[in-house]
Chain A
Amino acid sequence: MPVQMPDINLVTMLPEILIAILGLVLLLMSAGQDAERGRKVNAMALAGVIAAAALTVVTANGSSFGGFFVVDPFARAMKLLMLLATGMVLYMSMEYMRDQKFDGGEYQVMTLMALLGGMIMASAGDFVVLYMGLELMSLSIYVLAAWRRDDVRSNEAGLKYFVLGSMASGFLLYGISLIYGTTGTTLFTGVATALSHGHISTATIMGVVMVLAGMSFKVAAAPFHMWAPDVYEGAPTSVTAFMAVLPKIAAFAAIFRVLLIAFPALQSHWNPLLQLLAVASLAVGAIAAIGQTNIKRMLAYSSIGHVGFILLGLTAHTGLGYQSVVAYLAIYIFMSVGAFAIILLLNKAGVGDEIEDYKGLGHKRPMLALLMALFMFSMAGIPPLAGFMGKLYVFMAAVQSGMMMLAVAGVLFSAIGAFYYLRIVKFMYFDQPAEGAFGMELDFSARAILTVTGVVMLVWGLFPGALLSWSGASVKMFQ
């Protein structure tokens, strides 16, 4: 029997190939004896991420491996966000990594592999590819979370993430097998065709539910969020910053692809689930964060809340809704990276992760406190900052498609959530600092990241036009 080779179109996947080869080269470098290799590996990784971003912009639409790998405006946008987030996190953690003796080189390799997995997920046109990308990303991040191997909490973070993540992968895989079993294909477009004519069996619907459950775990949407606070708290801060951004973008990209390309026919089945996830995430993000005393835990709950908003935008199923999701993701990256950059900086100076430790930051380091306040206000959704714009467009989309109750719930929980963001601001400005606290120096990378993220908060808050037109263009294909 002759075999049919799929069309192999390597040009469409140049960014991925670059990252993969770079990862292999850096791995070989990290096995070397060179004491300065950490710095070199970091510089090369950063250069590679920038080059991959440039390649991503110029790659044309197309597909490879018989539709298994797809490049379209949406995939490009998501990959750009991922590259941006990874680049920023790598850049800002350089000093931190040197302090923590993370600079053997493997750390960057794992980061790049996670990024590669995420990029593959964003371009997946097939369930098997989606699963492999997800595993590549998750496996790398499990290892990164446990990186500080002599620290019990870091170990706990890695182990907890791994055990629960494997279970989520199991769900996902089981769902995929049900979908394959009932439709006879793993290709997204093939599944859509099979479902558009032909009866839809309960097994397919169960498959969709399982896939959605698995993906919800990855974005930490309630009620699949249990792991997030512990893992965020226990992992090294540079890793927490990374996993607050990359897996979320990747998993949302995958959710978009699966639901809108493979299962448009089942929208009446999965949309109520999405709404449930959205409301639950909003509630958990707003209410459970209030009692937190650890800032990383608090940001974990805050990220659950943001996931709720993003899901809310997705449930609207209008052009505006999809657009608001992409815009919100972009804004979320900058808010999150900015806030974590400050935590990282303070960590390096020996300041702990407790919110109490931030007492009096406003008196000692007014600029840092101002920026922290900026990110907190933005997360709370206070105008005229970018976070407000993100929420505004989500609410507009929800109202436009007649989901009045959900929009009201969103506003309500957003108001409750504002409380705990403001609490940090209160600690920073209305309490006295401890003797000799906050005596660190700002290195160039920290200044650069904080300047960029801070400026973005203001610019996107005041002039959201460019962001909106970009996000609008990236989701045009789903309408």
Chain B
Amino acid sequence: MVADLVFYLFAAVTVAAALGVITSRNQVHSVLFLILAFFTTAGLFVLLKAEFLAALLVIVYMGAVAVLFLFVVMMLDVDFESLRAGVKEHLPMGLFVGAVILAEFAFILSGVHVDEAVQTNAANIPNTQLIGQVLYTKYLFPFEIASLVLLVALIGAVVLTLRKRKDAKRQHIPSQIARTRDEAVELVKVAPGQGA
């Protein structure tokens, strides 16, 4: 009973936050709404007893991805008002596509029969452990490919955004350590009255 109530609460907030993402004028507010949507979705996962996914949503999506979005929004020098100008013309098309996708969802849901066997977790093993037991055995190969995908993301970010500043002073630790007194200090005897 309480669970149902909480479900509807979270679901309603998720939908409202998602609407906030696409309607708020300020991009930073959009990202904050997105974080709220992530959070309530995490709540929905908890209700489904998928705690690991909930934790993942909080750690990865709210902790990292949302921060990335925030950076990107602040990084872009885009006049959002001018972007907004086209919304009125594109609204009918957008609504049409949305309606088609909604109809698709309805169509699919009408034909689904839920297999009860999928839902059982007879031994009551914590779901993080269950995921671990599947991910690192049956899905071992895709898991290893994931490391390469992450690697490509890493290289891509470095290649596309890393700019070395020519005028920056950098540390060069070996040469700093190898420095001797002789090359660092010069003793000059200055005669009185001659110093410039």
CA–CA, A108 to B113, complex, Å? 48
**A64:B141 contact, CB within 8 angstroms:** yes
CA–CA, A5 to B104, complex, Å? 38
A120 CB, nearest partner CB in chain B, Å: 6
A239 CB, nearest partner CB in chain B, Å: 13
**B108:A132 contact, CB within 8 angstroms:** no
Residue ID in chain B nearest A113 by CB atoms: B152
**B155:A69 contact, CB within 8 angstroms:** no
**In the complex, which residues of chain A have a beta carbon less than 8 angstroms from the beta carbon of B128?**
none
Binary per-residue interface labels of chain A (198-224) against chain B in the complex, 1 for a CB within 8 Å, 0 otherwise: 000111001000000000000000000
Instruction: Indicate whether B88 reaches chain A with its CB closer than 8 angstroms.
Output: no
**A1:B156 contact, CB within 8 angstroms:** no
Instruction: Indicate whether A55 reaches chain B with its CB closer than 8 angstroms.
Output: no
**A132:B140 contact, CB within 8 angstroms:** no
**B152:A178 contact, CB within 8 angstroms:** no
**In the complex, which residues of chain B have a beta carbon less than 8 angstroms from the beta carbon of A116?**
148
**In the complex, which residues of chain A have a beta carbon less than 8 angstroms from the beta carbon of B115?**
184
**A4:B104 contact, CB within 8 angstroms:** no
A281 CB, nearest partner CB in chain B, Å: 22
Which residues of A (230-272) have their CB < 8 Å from a CB of B? none
How big is chain B's contact interface, by range? Answer: 20 to 34
Given A184-B118, A202-B107, A206-B107, decide whether A109 and B155 contact each other with a Cβ distance below 8 A: yes
Which residues of B (136-169) have their CB < 8 Å from a CB of A? 137-142, 145-146, 148-149, 151-153, 155-156, 158-161
Binary per-residue interface labels of chain B (68-109) against chain A in the complex, 1 for a CB within 8 Å, 0 otherwise: 000000000000000000000000000000000000100110
Which residues of A (283-307) have their CB < 8 Å from a CB of B? none
**In the complex, which residues of chain B have a beta carbon less than 8 angstroms from the beta carbon of A65?**
140-141
CA–CA, A120 to B149, complex, Å? 12
Candidates B110, B138, B149; contact of A202 at CB < 8 Å: B110
CA–CA, A136 to B145, complex, Å? 8
A132 CB, nearest partner CB in chain B, Å: 4
**B149:A132 contact, CB within 8 angstroms:** yes
Candidates B111, B138, B155, B159; contact of A6 at CB < 8 Å: B138
**A178:B145 contact, CB within 8 angstroms:** no
**A139:B140 contact, CB within 8 angstroms:** no
User: Which of B117, B148, B149 lies at the interface centre, i.e. has the most chain A CB atoms within 10 A of its CB?
Assistant: B148
CA–CA, A135 to B139, complex, Å? 16
**In the complex, which residues of chain B have a beta carbon less than 8 angstroms from the beta carbon of A143?**
152, 155-156, 159-160
Instruction: Indicate whether A466 reaches chain B with its CB closer than 8 angstroms.
Output: no
Residue ID in chain B nearest A13 by CB atoms: B141
B174 CB, nearest partner CB in chain A, Å: 14
**B112:A139 contact, CB within 8 angstroms:** no
**A128:B108 contact, CB within 8 angstroms:** no
B181 CB, nearest partner CB in chain A, Å: 29
Given A128-B139, A129-B145, A149-B160, decide whether A178 and B108 contact each other with a Cβ distance below 8 A: yes
CA–CA, A132 to B139, complex, Å? 11
- What secondary structure prevails in chain B residues at the interface with A? helix
Binary per-residue interface labels of chain A (102-145) against chain B in the complex, 1 for a CB within 8 Å, 0 otherwise: 00001001100100100010000010110111011001101100
Residue ID in chain B nearest A200 by CB atoms: B111
Given A20-B148, A202-B107, decide whether A139 and B142 contact each other with a Cβ distance below 8 A: no
**B112:A182 contact, CB within 8 angstroms:** yes
Given A113-B148, A136-B148, A203-B112, decide whether A106 and B141 contact each other with a Cβ distance below 8 A: no
Candidates B108, B133, B140, B159; contact of A147 at CB < 8 Å: B159
Instruction: Indicate whether B125 reaches chain A with its CB closer than 8 angstroms.
Output: yes
**B123:A1 contact, CB within 8 angstroms:** yes
Residue ID in chain B nearest A158 by CB atoms: B160
Given A6-B137, A64-B141, A129-B141, decide whether A203 and B149 contact each other with a Cβ distance below 8 A: no
Instruction: Indicate whether A3 reaches chain B with its CB closer than 8 angstroms.
Output: yes
CA–CA, A74 to B137, complex, Å? 27
Instruction: Indicate whether A328 reaches chain B with its CB closer than 8 angstroms.
Output: no
Instruction: Indicate whether A27 reaches chain B with its CB closer than 8 angstroms.
Output: yes
Residue ID in chain A nearest B117 by CB atoms: A184
Chain B residues packing against A (C-beta within 8 Å): 104, 107-108, 110-113, 115, 117-118, 123, 125, 133, 137-142, 145-146, 148-149, 151-153, 155-156, 158-161
Not counting A5-B140, A132-B146, a sample of 10 additional A-B residue pairs whose C-beta atoms are within 8 angstroms of each other reads: A1-B125, A3-B137, A27-B155, A68-B141, A113-B151, A116-B148, A128-B142, A149-B161, A178-B108, A202-B107
Q: 6 A-B residue contacts at CB 8 Å?
A: A3-B133, A109-B155, A133-B145, A136-B145, A136-B149, A142-B156
Chain A residues packing against B (C-beta within 8 Å): 1, 3-6, 8, 20, 23-24, 27, 64-66, 68-69, 106, 109-110, 113, 116, 120, 126, 128-129, 131-133, 135-136, 139-140, 142-143, 146-147, 149, 158, 178, 181-182, 184, 201-203, 206
**3 nearest CB pairs, A to B:** A202-B111, A143-B156, A132-B145
